[in-house]
Structure 1
């Protein structure tokens, strides 16, 4: 079974997630993808938030 590749986040992206953690995960995902031109899933954003509290 192939391992999934790790998603890299810039410091600006990490700071955005940290400063907007009170948003619902779907709202945060939509805002993140729009702001940074990414196409991450709600699961990707949720996992990042859980890993970094």
Structure 2
């Protein structure tokens, strides 16, 4: 037997990972980060309209 292929009888273990994404999980994460972004924009609006003119 050729020494390069002496371990050819051993098979590598293949692990299958699920590649399906739960669409409701993605949608809820999008809504969460969209809400954070809107709150951040509201905070910036408050700073610009109310606090900056006082200086």
Q: TM-score, normalised by structure 1?
A: 0.26
- Higher relative contact order structure (alpha carbons within 8 Å, sequence separation ≥ 6): 1
Q: Tell me which structure has the larger Cα radius of gyration.
A: 2
